[in-house]
Chains A and B, each alone.
Chain A
Amino acid sequence: MAGLCLYSATPWVKLLIQERYRQNVHFVWCSEHADTRLTHPNSLPYNTPPTSNPAEIYAGLRTYVQRGGERHNDKVNSIRQGCEARAVEWREAGVITTEQQDEIFALVNNPDCRIWRPVLLVIPRAPINAARVQLVPPAKRAGFAEEWTISDLRRDEFDEVELP
C-alpha cells in the first residue's frame, strides 16, 4: 500500500530559491519513508543508500551547519554549483531576469552556513493527483526502493519541518 505521505530533505536556501524565483513551484525528489533505516531489514527501502534517504540527507546537512560550514564540503559545493548553473539556464530561457540570476548567486555564496540548514518536506499524498507523482525508473534510482519526483509541487501541498 502506498504511504500516506512522501518525504524529501533539502537545504533551506533551495526552498527559498524555488519560492522566490520559481513562483513557489517546487521540484522534489522524494521517498515514502522519512528514514528508510527504520523499515524492516528485509524490505527494499531498508537498503536505500544514504544519498537517497531523507533522514540521512537531513543529518548530513545538519552536521555541516553545526560544524560551522567546512570550506570544502563536496555535497554543499555541488548543490551550490547546481543552483548557479540552473540560475544561468533560467536566465537564458527568459524565466528570470539578470538581476534575479545575480540574487541567486549572491544567496548561495552567502558566507553564513545556516542558509544550508536542512528542512524536511512532508507531502500528504491524497490531495495530489497521482499523475503528478512520477515513479523514478529503476535505472535512475540510487537503490532498489521506489523513489518519486514531483516537478510542480505547490507550497500549499507540503509542510516544511525543521527538526529540533
Chain B
Amino acid sequence: MIARALPDIAEGIAARLLLRLLPDPRTAEIEPRLSALEADEAVALAGVLSSLKTDHESLSGSPAIQRQVRDALAAVLRRGPLSDARRDAATQRLGTAGSLPLSDYKISIPPGLFKTFQEFGERQNYVESAIREADACEHISIRAAEQEEQVAHSLFVRRVTSKSGEYAHLVITQRVGKRLDFNAIWRVYPEVVRWDRSPRDILRAFVQQFGLMIDIPTRAPTQFIESDAVPQPAYSTARLNVVNAPLGHEYMVFGTSRMSAALPVLSLSFVYAVDLTVYGEFLATKRR
C-alpha cells in the first residue's frame, strides 16, 4: 500500500538510500548519513517523506519514521522481484539449486515405484519424515556432460529407533524445481554402514553391500555410477545391463539415465542396482 503511494524512484537510488538509512549499531546517529546524501538520493528521500506526509526534521528525531521510510523504500525494491511471476520463477530455480528450506518442497511419490518398498515395510509417511526431519541432508547437482542440463539429487538420512533396534532411513530423491521426486528408501543398519558419513557415502556403502554390477557399453562394469556420459551411437539400443544377478533373484536398477538431446551420449547419474532378494532377506533377519 505504501509503495503504490510512492513517487517513482529508480531501484538503484532506492537501494542506495535504503543502505544509508539502515540502522547501524555503530553509528546510531542518522544525521551524518543524511547529510552525505547524493543529489538523486536527496530528491528521492524528499519524495518518500512527502508521500508519508512527514518531513526531514521528523525523520532525524523519530526511529518510527525512519522505519516507515525504510519500509517504503523496501516496498519500492520489492515491486519487481516479488511480483508473482518473478517470485515463482526464482523459487523454482532456488528449488532446483537446493537452496529452499526443506519445508518448501513438495514430495512426489509414484505409487507404482513405491510398491516395491511397501513390500519391505516402508510407508509413505516414513519418506516424508526422513525428508522433513532429516538428521543429514545432501543436495547434489550433476552435469554429466558440458552441454547437458544438470540433474539434481537430494539425499536424506534420518535415524530411527524401533523395537528391533536402531537403523537409519536413507531416502534418495531427484529435485525438480520445488518438487522432490522420490527415488528410493533404504534401511541402513549400523553394522552395515557407519552413519557418521555423508548421505552420498552412506548410499555408496549400502550399494557395496546390496548392489549388483552394472555393465554399460564402452565402460568397465561397476556397482555405482555417480555421473557419466556414455557415448551411444544412434542405432544402438544397448543401455544398462545388470551382469551378476544370481538366478531367481529379484533386482531393480535405480537412478537417472537419459539420452542427450544434443549429443549421442547416454547421461547417467546416481545409477545403481540393488539385489532386492538379498536386501529383503537381510531385513527379515533384523525383524526376527
Q: Which residues of A contact B (CB under 8 A)?
A: 16, 20, 49, 51-52, 74, 77-78, 80-82, 84-89, 92, 99, 101-103, 105-107, 109-110, 112, 114-115, 136, 139-142
Q: Which 8 A-B pairs rank lowest in CB-CB distance, beginning with the nearest?
A: A51-B25, A105-B81, A88-B15, A112-B101, A102-B90, A106-B90, A85-B15, A85-B18
Contacts A84-B78, A142-B26: A105 and B99 contacting too (C-beta < 8 A)? no
* B contact face: mostly helix, strand, loop, or mixed: helix
- On chain A, the residues within 8 Å of B14 by CB distance are 85, 88
> Is the Cβ of A102 less than 8 Å from the Cβ of B81?
yes
Please, which residue of chain B has its CB at the minimum distance from the CB of A89?
Answer: B15
B37 interface hit (Cβ, 8 Å)? no
A78 to B16, CA, bound (A): 14
Could you tell me which residues of chain B, from 35 to 56, have a CB within 8 Å of some CB in chain A?
Answer: none
> Is the Cβ of B22 less than 8 Å from the Cβ of A107?
no
Contacts A88-B15, A141-B26: A16 and B77 contacting too (C-beta < 8 A)? no
Q: Which of A52, A81, A112, A114 contacts B70 (CB 8 A)?
A: A81
> Is the Cβ of B23 less than 8 Å from the Cβ of A74?
yes
Q: Which residues of B contact A (CB under 8 A)?
A: 11-12, 14-16, 18-19, 22-23, 25-27, 67, 70-71, 73-74, 77-78, 80-82, 86-87, 89-91, 93-94, 97, 99-101, 103-104
- On chain B, the residues within 8 Å of A136 by CB distance are 26
B49: min CB distance to chain A, Å: 18
Contacts A16-B99, A81-B22: A74 and B90 contacting too (C-beta < 8 A)? no
- On chain B, the residues within 8 Å of A142 by CB distance are 25-26
* A contact face: mostly helix, strand, loop, or mixed: helix
Q: Which of A89, A107, A141 contacts B94 (CB 8 A)?
A: A107
Contacts A99-B93, A102-B89, A112-B101: A74 and B12 contacting too (C-beta < 8 A)? no
Contacts A101-B81, A103-B93, A112-B101: A78 and B22 contacting too (C-beta < 8 A)? yes
A78 to B49, CA, bound (A): 19
- On chain B, the residues within 8 Å of A99 by CB distance are 89-90, 93
- On chain B, the residues within 8 Å of A20 by CB distance are 97, 99
> Is the Cβ of A92 less than 8 Å from the Cβ of B27?
no
- On chain B, the residues within 8 Å of A106 by CB distance are 81-82, 87, 90-91, 94
Contacts A106-B81, A106-B87: A49 and B25 contacting too (C-beta < 8 A)? yes
Please, which residue of chain A has its CB at the minimum distance from the CB of B93?
Answer: A103
Please, which residue of chain A has its CB at the minimum distance from the CB of B20?
Answer: A85
Q: Which of B67, B78, B89, B100 contacts A110 (CB 8 A)?
A: B100
Contacts A52-B26, A106-B90: A82 and B19 contacting too (C-beta < 8 A)? yes
A105 to B77, CA, bound (A): 9
> Is the Cβ of A105 less than 8 Å from the Cβ of B87?
yes
